Amino acid sequence: MRVKASVIIPTKNPGLMFRQVLNAVIHQRTEWPFEIIVVDSGSTDGTVDFVRKHSTVILIDIPPETFGHGRTRNLAIAAARGAFCALLTHDALPASQNWLANLVSSVEQDDQIAGAFGPHLAYPEHSVFTKRDLERYFHGFGQLPPVLCRETDAERYRNDQGWRQVLHYYSDNNSCLRRSVWQQIPYPDVDFAEDQIWAAKVIESGWKKAYAPDAAVFHSHEYMPFERLQRAFDEALAFRQLFGYRLGGGLAQTVGSAAALSYTDWCWGRSHNVSFPEILRRILDDIAVAVGHSLGAQGARLPERIRTMLSRDKKLFYTSRSA
């Protein structure tokens, strides 16, 4: 039978969590055949041996120095046989056995839909703030039309930066694209935000994007404050370089943003009986995000040594701005 969908998972020392992810994908319920492609870039934690135990899983083994977020996904999609390519990261666990079917059907509903993305859920062991943030974020997409394009509101698309950000939001932690569209518009060869750059390009080219609320994955992270600052720095610098958006400002804006975030989370935590240590950790996170966004917005002017220290994705600073 002809393969309808390909599930693509890049890996690099993912640990035991990936075993749950792969097993969850293998046991997806669909009315059509699908394949699974794992692209490993030099794992040394037994991942390759684990994948090889599954004869139905296709393994692509690449040297670690050749990995690129856009480049490696392009490699896997080029090797895929499915008309639809679902993309996961190695720590994104499908929340149900219908995840793949629901994700593909969201793209399939209209032949002008280039891709779809599904929501992220917090892992049960993660903080109540992480759970709240993800619920709020994806609830916002649920309040919009499930299929969006440039012409949904053409005037707003031209004049509203925030609306353009909504339109190009797309996450390869949990997404599915139409391979025929990818053949026209492949992923850019960049090391950060390849998914959102791709979505921005397809939207600008007139394609549509869908939200698949019933195709959720468990995907969340808990960072130490400096790690949170690094993530915010990478995000702000990438959005500044790649989209022209400014996520952070000067000293006054940074202090104001940190204070507002901290006060809001303090009030929410107290009203929801969150422990004081957990609220304090959240406030440290809020400060780290505000500082990271401010530094990232001005990152192009910082010495390379400082930029490298502040980044969790060091290759970001060698990314072509024209990609």
Please provide the DSSP assignment of 23-56 as one string: HHHHT---SS-EEEEEEESS--SSHHHHHHT-TT
Where along the chain do its domains lie? Answer: 5-218, 225-318
Tens digit of each residue's pLDDT (9 = 90 or more) over 192-247: 789 999 999 999 999 999 999 999 999 999 999 999 999 999 888 877 877 777 77
On whether the CB atoms of residues 167 and 159 are closer than 8 A, the answer is: no
Note if the pTM is more than 0.75: yes
Q: Within 13 Å of residue 234, how many CA atoms lie on the same side as its CB?
A: 18
Q: What are phi and psi of 155, to 5 degrees?
A: -65, -45
Tens digit of each residue's pLDDT (9 = 90 or more) over 288-317: 999 999 999 888 888 888 888 898 776 544
5-218: CATH topology: Spore Coat Polysaccharide Biosynthesis Protein SpsA; Chain A (3.90.550)
| Integer Cα distance of 60 and 218 in angstroms | 25
